[in-house]
Chains A and B, each alone.
Chain A
Amino acid sequence: MSKSKQLTYSQALTELEEIINEIESEEINVDVLAEKVKRATCLIKFCKARLRNTEEEVKKVLSAIEEIPEADHGGSK
């Protein structure tokens, strides 16, 4: 959906699912586990933060919308 380099929700979720599958396959040693958990934590934080903070996204949308003069910025209310 997003064209930017920024991680999308679905990419994050896919990666998280991969990590949990790997972890739960129990074929992972403690050192790798630490690495995976770190990455997962990072992804989870990203998702949860982005669900609640969209300022940047709003700016992007609004600036793009301004090209359509009739559109009303209802979301900025």
Chain B
Amino acid sequence: MQNIFSINRTTYSLCELNNIIKSAIDYALPDTYWVIAEIADTKLNQKGHCYLELVEKEDSKTIAQVKANIWAYEYRKLSLKFQAVTNQSLKPGMKVLFLVAVTFHEVYGLSLNVKDIDPSYTMGEMALKKREVIERMTKEGLIDLNKSLSLPIVPQRIAVISSPTAAGYGDFFDHLDNNPYGYKFIHILFPALMQGAEAEQSIISALRKVRQKRDLFDVLVIIRGGGSVIDLNCFDSYTLASQVAKLPLPVITGIGHEKDDTIVDMTAHTKMKTPTAVAEFLISGVRSFEENVTEIEDRIVKYTERLIKDERYTLGILTQKLNFISIQLTASLNSTIDGIEKDLRGNIKQFMQKTAAGLDNFEKVIRLLDPANVLRRGYSITQHKGKILKDASHLRTGDIIETMLFKGMVKSSVIRKTKEAEEREQEQAVDLFSGIDGA
């Protein structure tokens, strides 16, 4: 030991040496520097200081590593700024552009003190990564795969992947169950963590369960809402998005963010902004089906009413026609019958009058021709051998003839026959008599 001191070399205490290093570093690196590094680890202590482990990798091999810190005051400001732009918090795996001062502490050693962060770099990095995933999904035909499924005409049986404690989930089923039309939805929750490091695996395992029971459902809804807008990057993962794409059920997302769509949103059949909007969408789907049905119902009712009205109108016209015709027919029959009756009456009267007049005449003639009356007027009837005598030539002198007078009979004998003129006169009288006899 004495030998060492005897050489008379200069020695430093560790503190002295570290101070020298510190001044050397301060001297060599007096400014602040923009440095690109990947976060390997991050810790927040109770005082609010943030401690980071930064690395640079080449082919997943670490080729540089250094500690870094962001003091509490700075951290509050920077983390807000970073989240505002990227919707993410600083976390491992992220490439970040830091403005740092290189510091050396006697106890804690070399460390980068972060003064500022440029979030646009990370944005660019993320966008690049996202673009790569989109390109890959497009190339593999996955980005439009779920969209090629058609939505059910009535989305009534709904599988839901969400966190049971998420406000968005409560909003979702409140909205569904209290829809103004009284539709009943069946919604079954397949719970999953919707943020944090395990979200991706948790959602993928929920998707697997839904897939097993896909026949029971019309659609799958993935909702997340109500929480912070950060930590959406699991929805940009290729693994998760490709699982969503391959699900044989239409997927509707309501992940609850305003910024760029995540890849899961892009892959889903339908993307809605919020869980409530998803509920609205489903209700409107059912509503539009019912409106279809109601429209057909209205058309059937209208058409049937019209047809019945038409038929009734036709029937009315027919009834009217029938009434009219029957009235006409009755009237014409009546008038014909009236005519016949009138004619009949007239004819009967005439006939009776004619008959009466005829009878009167007859009576008169008969009275005139009554042989008694003829006899009364001085004519007489002569009989010979019981036969009425009309021709004197039938008589011979000495024949006995009987002459009937108005009063009494005379028996005489023929003395002589007179001239023919006298005979004819007698003949006429006898003819007249015999005519009456014949009538």
Contact = CB atoms under 8 A, between A and B. Distances in A.
Contact of B299 (A24, A51, A60): A24
A60 B156 CA distance: 14
A52 B307 CA distance: 32
A9 B154 contact: yes
Interface string B164-199: 100001000100000001111111111100000000
Contact of B184 (A23, A51, A74): A51
Contacts of A10: 153
B296 A44 contact: yes
Nearest to B286: A51
Interface string A1-28: 1010000011011001101100110000
B247 to A, nearest CB: 15
A47 B289 CA distance: 9
Given A3-B215, A13-B289, A61-B216, A40 B297 contact: yes
Interface string B122-145: 000000000000000000000000
Nearest to A29: B307
Interface string B348-378: 0000000000000000000000000000000
Interface bracket on B: 35 or more
Contact of A52 (B182, B190, B300): B182
Contacts of A16: 293, 296
B156 A73 contact: no
Contacts of A24: 299, 303
A47 B190 CA distance: 28
B177 to A, nearest CB: 8
Contact of A74 (B152, B187, B300): B187
Interface in A46-77: 47-48, 51-54, 57-58, 60-62, 64-65, 68, 70-75, 77
Contacts, number: 112
A74 B292 CA distance: 30
A2 B213 CA distance: 13
Nearest to A46: B293
B300 A19 contact: yes
B399 interface: no
A64 B181 CA distance: 28
A61 B188 contact: yes
Contacts of B185: 54, 75
B191 A70 contact: yes
B300 A75 contact: no
Contacts of B307: 30, 33
B290 interface: yes
Given A9-B289, A23-B303, A75-B188, A30 B311 contact: yes
- Find the residue from A9, A24, A54 having the highest chain B CB count within 10 A: A9
B183 A51 contact: yes
B190 A71 contact: yes
B421 to A, nearest CB: 106
Contacts of B184: 51-54, 58
A52 B218 contact: no
A26 B427 CA distance: 104
Interface string B416-436: 000000000000000000000
B164 to A, nearest CB: 6
Nearest to B292: A13
Given A52-B184, A74-B187, A75-B188, A68 B296 contact: no
B209 A74 contact: no
Given A9-B289, A61-B188, A17 B209 contact: no
5 contacts: A9-B152, A20-B296, A37-B300, A71-B190, A72-B189
Interface of B: 152-154, 156-158, 160, 164, 169, 173, 181-191, 209, 212-213, 215-218, 286, 289-290, 292-294, 296-297, 299-300, 303-304, 307, 311
The 9 A-B residue pairs with the shortest CB-CB distance in the complex, in nearest-first order: A74-B189, A54-B184, A75-B187, A9-B154, A72-B189, A16-B296, A20-B296, A61-B216, A47-B293
Given A72-B189, A75-B189, 11 more contacts: A1-B152, A1-B215, A9-B289, A44-B294, A48-B290, A57-B186, A61-B217, A68-B213, A71-B191, A74-B189, A75-B186
